[in-house]
Chain A
Amino acid sequence: MAQRLLDFLHRERAAALVESGSHVGDEIAVVHRDHLLDVLTLLRDHADTKMNMLSDLTVVDYLGQQPRFEVVYQLYSLVHKHRLRIKVRIDDGEEQCWVPSACSLWHAANWAEREAWDLYGVRFEGHPDLRRILMYDEFVGHPLRKDYPQNGRQPLIRRPDAPATDDQTTRLLPDSHDRRVS
């Protein structure tokens, strides 16, 4: 059924697609970042698709690959009962690691994008309030990145005589210290 959606995308926005396909029954379309909002708006508003629900928004970190990150949008239509997965591939670095915000399309994107920013450091341009949502404001770095040390605790408070812990003595990467969008 959902192959119809991929055909629809090929027909309407062929230039936006990087690749598309199906994996274990889920239809996936990888789009260019420049056309992301265009594709999402079309999927939400067109009478044949009506993707009026953003189920989830996540990020995958493929450390060592180019491009490094994949932002994943899980869309669902409450009208037609079909699903589609949209992916955007972005690279690491201050000027590359961003995608346009989908807050104007779904209110559900607000907190999901804040979580993705908090844990992966992907900026969402145009987000109304891009702050950390799970970690505390004093936290440095983005803990779900694959280059963050596993036991890299950043304690807010300790007893002066606190027992020793087995935290790893690993250095954070210097370029992962962006704490907030200015």
Chain B
Amino acid sequence: MSEPGASYVPTVLQDAVNWAQKYSLFTYPFATACCAMEFMSTMGSRYDIARFGAEFPRFSPRQADLLIVIGTITERQAPVLRRIYDQMPDPKWVMAFGVCASTGGFYQNYTVMPGADQVIPVDVYVPGCPPRPEQVLDGLMALQRRIQEHRGHCQQQIGNTAAIGYTDRRKLPVLQDGTSMTLLPEERMPQDGRVR
């Protein structure tokens, strides 16, 4: 159960834990662009995300378990987003809010990253430019189903959190490319001319 390969161990206790977690999401809004307006509307009294138990935004990633990426992520911002994701405690989930966070949207250029999933694993994508609040609530319910079915990225990695001895990811290295969080120039611009 504690070896890295064992990722999916359904138990009755785990189902109960998932049920508790899906109705108690603490969100961290990583708001960078205009989609934040729709996020405010979703949080507000008219659409009222509190009905789904996710009403309390924590402005510290260490107290949150749902990272909502709201808006355009540039290449310059990518290490920041990655670090915030790494600072969140397990188990954690990510929602890409709007097309820019999902795929880069209509930006196809040198500076906008084509989707937040280039640097962090994303559990649910909410399309729209910006998405309607109903769409966000639909995405949140999709995420809740995913949590209940134990299909979240981090749930699959750390395994059965209700059991003793699940994989403790705090001991694993958080980034692949060292302490500087940047690639070497020759890795970013390979000599064969191919631009990643």
Q: Does A157 make an interface contact (CB < 8 A)?
A: yes
Inter-chain contact B193/A170, CB cutoff 8 Å: yes
User: Chain A residues near B114 (CB, 8 Å)?
Assistant: 153, 165-167
Per the bound structure, the CA–CA distance linking A165 and B108 in Å amounts to 10
User: Chain A residues near B37 (CB, 8 Å)?
Assistant: none
User: Chain A residues near B79 (CB, 8 Å)?
Assistant: 156-157
* Chain A, range 123-182, C-beta contacts under 8 Å to B: 135-136, 138, 140, 143, 148-160, 162-163, 165-172
Inter-chain contact B176/A160, CB cutoff 8 Å: yes
User: Chain A residues near B185 (CB, 8 Å)?
Assistant: 138, 140
Contact of B181 among A157, A168, A169 (CB under 8 A): A157
Contact of B110 among A138, A151, A156, A165 (CB under 8 A): A151
Q: Does B182 make an interface contact (CB < 8 A)?
A: yes
The verdict on A167 contacting B196 (CB below 8 Å), with A138-B182, A156-B78 known, is yes
User: Chain B residues near A167 (CB, 8 Å)?
Assistant: 114, 195-196
Per the bound structure, the CA–CA distance linking A60 and B5 in Å amounts to 56
Inter-chain contact B189/A162, CB cutoff 8 Å: no
Among the listed stretches B64-72, B115-123, B131-139, which one makes contact with chain A, having 4 or more residues with CB under 8 Å of it? Answer: B115-123
Q: Does B169 make an interface contact (CB < 8 A)?
A: no
**B153 nearest CB across to chain A (Å):** 11
Per the bound structure, the CA–CA distance linking A155 and B118 in Å amounts to 10
**B127 nearest CB across to chain A (Å):** 16
Per the bound structure, the CA–CA distance linking A160 and B194 in Å amounts to 17
Q: Does B32 make an interface contact (CB < 8 A)?
A: no
Please give me the residue from chain A that is nearest to B181 by CB atom: A157
Per the bound structure, the CA–CA distance linking A94 and B176 in Å amounts to 37
Please give me the residue from chain B that is nearest to A170 by CB atom: B195
Please give me the residue from chain B that is nearest to A168 by CB atom: B195
User: Chain B residues near A171 (CB, 8 Å)?
Assistant: 193
User: Chain B residues near A150 (CB, 8 Å)?
Assistant: 108-110
The verdict on A152 contacting B181 (CB below 8 Å), with A143-B110, A163-B115 known, is no
Per the bound structure, the CA–CA distance linking A158 and B118 in Å amounts to 6
**B145 nearest CB across to chain A (Å):** 23
Inter-chain contact A153/B181, CB cutoff 8 Å: no
User: Chain B residues near A166 (CB, 8 Å)?
Assistant: 108, 114
**A129 nearest CB across to chain B (Å):** 19
Per the bound structure, the CA–CA distance linking A118 and B196 in Å amounts to 21
- Contact indicator per residue, chain B 97-115, by CB within 8 Å of chain A (1) or not (0): 0000000000011110111
* Chain B, range 68-87, C-beta contacts under 8 Å to A: 75-76, 78-79, 82
A–B complex contacts, Cβ < 8 Å, 17 sampled: A135-B111, A138-B185, A140-B185, A140-B189, A143-B109, A143-B110, A153-B110, A153-B114, A154-B196, A157-B79, A158-B118, A159-B119, A159-B121, A163-B117, A167-B114, A167-B196, A170-B193
Q: What 4 pairs across the A-B complex have the smallest Cβ distances?
A: A171-B193, A143-B110, A165-B114, A162-B118
Known: A138-B185, A155-B118, A170-B195. 12 other contacts (CB 8 A): A138-B182, A150-B108, A155-B113, A155-B196, A156-B75, A156-B182, A157-B177, A157-B181, A159-B121, A165-B118, A166-B108, A171-B193
